Amino acid sequence: MGRMDYLSMKTDQETAQLLNSDLIELKIAAKKLMHHATKLGGLAFGTSFLKWVASFSAIYLLILDRTNWRSNILTSLLVPYIFFSFPWSLFNFLRGEVGKWIAFIAVVLRLFFPRHFPDWLEMPGSLILLLVVAPDFFAHSVRGNWVGVAICLAIGCYLLQEHIRASGGFRNSFTQSHGISNTVGIILLLAFPIWAMVTHVFV
């Protein structure tokens, strides 16, 4: 009986040790999972937040175009930038029935009442048309991967160097009238694609 009790106690101890080691491993795995989930969640939040900032910066620069830049090239490049950086919720909203009605009204006004169609509505109207009529390949596949991010990065870099060159240098781009708002707006355009590229490479 003594030997049986000893074997039974030894078996119970080994079982308890195995359970403890398993619990420790589960705790370690749970901590790693929480760490990675928090990290990925933070990166996703950062990308989503910067996408909103970049989109509204592009819209802000589009509004300023007529009074400050006087450049059709910059204006036309902001339209595809907004298309590729627009948050999914707004993109799907404007791609639906609401966007179709807005595009329909814009086309009717442009065709039948050209004198009453203001010039400042040209680019917003083009953006709405692009959102509505874009094929699903561009609307979902290209927008959702690194190709769309690379296009936004290229547009942002081009706009920044063109703006600096037109201002007569980097320092002048901050000191001229309305230069700070334009320069900061273009820098914000670069924040989203750079962050998205970094997270795509390192995650």
Q: How far, in Å, CA of 140 to CA of 180, rounded?
A: 35
Q: Which domain holds residue 158?
A: 52-202
Within a domain: 33: no
Q: How far, in Å, CA of 59 to CA of 64, rounded?
A: 9
Write the CB contacts of 135 (distance below 8 Å, at least 6 apart in sequence). none
Within a domain: 16: no
Among the listed residues 78, 160, 163, the one whose alpha carbon sits nearest the alpha carbon of residue 123: 78
CB 99 within 8 A of CB 128: yes
The pLDDT value recorded for residue 6 is 46
The pLDDT value recorded for residue 176 is 67
Within a domain: 19: no
The pLDDT value recorded for residue 13 is 60
Within a domain: 7: no
Q: How far, in Å, CA of 57 to CA of 47, rounded?
A: 15
Q: How far, in Å, CA of 189 to CA of 53, rounded?
A: 8
Within a domain: 40: no
The pLDDT value recorded for residue 88 is 85
Within a domain: 26: no
What predicted TM-score, i.e. pTM, was given to this entire model? 0.70
Within a domain: 133: yes
The pLDDT value recorded for residue 155 is 92
Within a domain: 80: yes
Among the listed residues 58, 15, 50, 87, the one whose alpha carbon sits nearest the alpha carbon of residue 199: 50
CB 63 within 8 A of CB 125: no
Residues lower than pLDDT 70 in the chain: 1-23, 25-27, 29-47, 66-73, 144, 174-179, 200-203
The pLDDT value recorded for residue 70 is 56
Looking at 41-183, which runs of residues are DSSP E strands? none
Q: Angle, to 10 degrees, between the axis of helix 72-85 and the axis of helix 146-167?
A: 150
- For 126-170, write each residue's pLDDT tens digit: 888 888 888 888 777 777 678 888 899 999 999 888 888 877 777
Among the listed residues 64, 42, 94, 90, the one whose alpha carbon sits nearest the alpha carbon of residue 189: 64
Rounded (5°) CA angle 59-47-82 = 25
Q: How far, in Å, CA of 50 to CA of 100, rounded?
A: 27
Based on the structure, what is the number of domains in the chain? Answer: 1
